[in-house]
Structure 1
Amino acid sequence: MTPVALLLLCGLLFSSPGDAQRRRKKPPAPKNPIDNIGVQGNFDPNQFAGKWFLVAAASRCSYLSENHYRLEATNVMVTVADAETPEKPLLFSIFRPLDGHCWNIRQTYFPSRTPGRFQVLGRGQPVDVVVGETDYNTYAIVYYQKAGKISAKLYGRTVKVSETITLKFEERMASVGLDLNLVYYFPVYGFCDAVDEFHLLDETKYTGTR
């Protein structure tokens, strides 16, 4: 028997069942990228509620990079759902022009056990959401993860935010691998606040239950 064969045999003979079990163990599931993002401390949904303007978005979405010149002014009304649970869902009512019409998109942000973390359900894969930071009165940086990919949005209580806040947003984006060329700023005019019944997309019907 060759020395190599003897070595392999010895390895098999002196391996304990525990060693084999350890070798068969599945590797731990990879950590979600969004789990590395800090959440706004002591997040208060009631302070977060109210009207926000979408100032900027950061994303690797190819459609966004190819059509960023077509971005439209977007504003959001956030309300706290009247649910009988300590963790209240947030209702996002998004208004934006599209093809000459004002559209209203309604979504439910379902809370997790961690204040400031949510999940949005829809036709496709669920979207994990983290309110990374906000002062409630001026700005909010919100992160989104779908299919393991991170994007983010900068909201302002007014259509424009200070240069200090935009620089902060760009720095936060760089820290998650979204460089400046992946940050897109939205128009500050052309907002709409009301739509007719034919231009409503209600995604609040998606609850994850059957």
Structure 2
Amino acid sequence: MAALQTLLLLGLLLTARGQRAARRRQPPPPQSALDKVVAQEGLSLDELAGNWFLVGMASRCSYLAEHSHQLEATMVTMTILDGESLAISTFRKLDRVCWEIKQHYLPAQAPGRFLLKDHRKNSKVDMVVGEADPTSFIILYYEEGQKISVKLYGRSSVVGDAVMDKFEQRARAVGLSEDVTYYFPTYGFCESADEFHVLNETKL
């Protein structure tokens, strides 16, 4: 009986050691590209309020690649809610009709980081304000399901070469080359949409 108890105890000890060793061998979860992005420091959210024009976007989105010849001028209006979250309305044309898409980005764990819950796809989108001059441009990073994209917005539809260089450098730093970088029209913007062409994702 004593021998049996000893064998059982030895078996339990070996199992526990094996489990600990397995835990030690498990690699840490991979760090997302967005975790490595440094958010703009010292930025007041109120400075981001107002209209922004989408200048460029770097992304491996297959839809974007297939329809890059049909890109539409896109404008967003940012509103600061409660001093900590962003209400963003995106205005763009679809089949020559102006649409408005409303989204609400909640504050994340650190300044300059936000979270959008996409109820339609039961997923989330992380956003980081990477670099900004509130009077001129803003570079935003987005990540959904390990897929990252970078967008450049300007206070006007045309920005200077230095800003374009910043954007392209930022995109390359997260593995997005010029081959997957697209630029948007500088004219033909929508500034509003009628009540029948509003997609309010904040209520989904």
Question: What do you get for the CA RMSD once the two structures are aligned?
Answer: 1.9
Q: Residues 80-134 of structure 1, C-alpha deviation per residue, up to 9 Å, x if partnerless? A: 11x3xxx621000110011010000000011113111001112122100000010
Q: Residues 23-73 of structure 1, C-alpha deviation per residue, up to 9 Å, x if partnerless? A: 131543222221011111123110111110000001001111111110000
- Normalised by the length of structure 1, the TM-score is 0.85
Answer yes or no: is 1:154 the counterpart of 2:161.
no
- In the alignment, the residues of structure 2 paired with residue 17 and residue 97 of structure 1 have an alpha-carbon distance, to the nearest angstrom, of 62
Answer yes or no: is 1:140 the counterpart of 2:138.
yes
- Equivalent residue number for residue 200 of structure 2: 202
- Give 2:34's aligned amino acid: I
Q: How big is the shift at 1:169?
A: 0.7
1:121-140 pair list within 5 angstroms = 121-122=117-118, 123-124=120-121, 125-140=123-138
- Give 1:117's aligned amino acid: R
- In the alignment, the residues of structure 2 paired with residue 169 and residue 99 of structure 1 have an alpha-carbon distance, to the nearest angstrom, of 29
- Equivalent residue number for residue 98 of structure 1: 94
- Equivalent residue number for residue 39 of structure 2: 39
How many residues align? The count is 190
Q: How big is the shift at 1:198?
A: 0.8
Unaligned runs of 5+ in 2: 1-9
Q: Residues 175-205 of structure 1, C-alpha deviation per residue, up to 9 Å, x if partnerless? A: 1110001110000000011111110000112
- Give 1:109's aligned amino acid: Y
Unaligned runs of 5+ in 1: 1-11
The structure carrying a bigger helix percent of its residues is 2
- In the alignment, the residues of structure 1 paired with residue 16 and residue 47 of structure 2 have an alpha-carbon distance, to the nearest angstrom, of 54
Identity of aligned residues (%): 46
- In the alignment, the residues of structure 2 paired with residue 30 and residue 109 of structure 1 have an alpha-carbon distance, to the nearest angstrom, of 25
- Normalised by the length of structure 2, the TM-score is 0.87
- Give 2:49's aligned amino acid: A
- Give 1:69's aligned amino acid: H
- Equivalent residue number for residue 54 of structure 1: 54
- In the alignment, the residues of structure 2 paired with residue 80 and residue 199 of structure 1 have an alpha-carbon distance, to the nearest angstrom, of 23
- Give 1:172's aligned amino acid: R
Give the secondary-structure state (helix, strand or coil) at the position aligned to 2:202. Answer: coil
The structure carrying a bigger strand percent of its residues is 2
